[in-house]
Amino acid sequence: MSEPKFVYVTYIATTPEKLWQALTDGAFTERYWFGTRIKSDWTLGADVTFLRNDQVYDSGKLLECDPPRRLSYTWSVKSHEEFRGERPSRVTFEIETMTAAGGKKTEVKLTVTHDDFDVGSKVLAAVSGGWPVVLASLKSFLETGEALEIAGIGALQAAKERALAAARGATA
């Protein structure tokens, strides 16, 4: 049986440096991540915190930081009663520059891997619904300057709730 994980790939017309900034600068994440501000000093082992309205809702530790290519941190979900029993998981961002015929740099491939879950993780079910929303909004933000309007956090929350309900159904 394969290990429980979520993998998502998207291609963005931008540079690795701009994508890196969008992933690590709280002023940027707040724009496309539906009000989520990421905060860290980006030294290995440092805290990575996720804030909304200046309140910390989730946090983790920095595992890898190789700008503008690879970023990895643990993620401990504290915002939901239902997730609190789970150990921290791990999210990794890999950034590759795509080169077209003739050596012209065109766009950037972003691979997000969220893994290190226990079997039956409810967090995995929730993030599997949440990442496509956030990463689609990130792509729009970098290509058009506008994040997506998905009725904000409400819709994201609703997607998480639906995924949770589905996970409950699957284990029942």
Partner 1 sequence: MSEPKFVPNTVYVTYIASTAEQVWEALTSAEFTRKYFGGFAIEVEPRQGGTFLLRYPDGRVHMSGRVVEWSPPRRFSCTWRVEGMPDLRELPECLVTYDIEQAGGSVKLTMTEAHSWKVPDEILAGGRTGWPAILSSLKSVLETGKSLDIKLEPPREMMEAVKEAVAKKPWRR
Interaction site with partner 1 (CB under 8 A): 8-13, 98, 100-101, 106-107, 132-133, 136-137, 139-140, 143-144, 146, 148-152, 155
Which run of H or of E encompasses 56?
A: strand 55-66
CA–CA dist 145, 170 (Å, integer): 39
Shortest distance, CB of residue 124 to partner 1, whole angstroms?
A: 15
The helix/strand/coil state of 129 is helix
Q: Chain-centre distance of CA 149, in angstroms?
A: 17
**Residue nearer to partner 1 on the CB measure, 87 or 143:** 143
Shortest distance, CB of residue 28 to partner 1, whole angstroms?
A: 18
User: Cβ atoms within 10 A of the Cβ of 27, count?
Assistant: 9
**Residue nearer to partner 1 on the CB measure, 84 or 106:** 106
What count of residues does the chain have?
Answer: 172
**Residue nearer to partner 1 on the CB measure, 34 or 62:** 34
